[in-house]
Amino acid sequence: MSQIEVYKGITKTVLNQYALVNKKIQFLSHSENVTFFVETTTENFLVRIHQLISASTDKRWERPEIIESELLWLTALHRDIDIVV
């Protein structure tokens, strides 16, 4: 099983927590994160998994304050804009 298939399985597990039907999952990229485009009959989503490619990747993305700042940004998006985060 490829690494992308492993991440796709994680994505399916996460999406099963929501009432989404007829999901189409498409791998987009893997850089500092693994991203998938998810299409349903009524909405589209982006699933983002924080997973660095290798140990040689820029370590800043592993720093707790950087991850915390991203979580704060997501919280602000949820609070201030009519999108699901």
**Which of 3, 45, 49 is closest to 22 using CA atoms?**
45
- pLDDT for 57 equals 58
Q: Which amino acid is present at 68? A: E
Residue 11 confidence (pLDDT) above 60: yes
22-77, pLDDT tens digit by residue?
A: 889 999 988 778 899 999 988 898 998 887 665 555 677 678 898 899 889 989 98
79 versus 55: the higher-pLDDT residue is 79
Token pair of 59 as six digits: 């370590």
Residue 38's pLDDT is 94
Between CA 46 and CA 32 the distance in angstroms is: 15
- Region for 16 from its dihedrals, namely left if φ exceeds 0, alpha if ψ lies in -120 to 50, beta otherwise: alpha
- The first and second tokens of residue 46, run together, are 């982006």
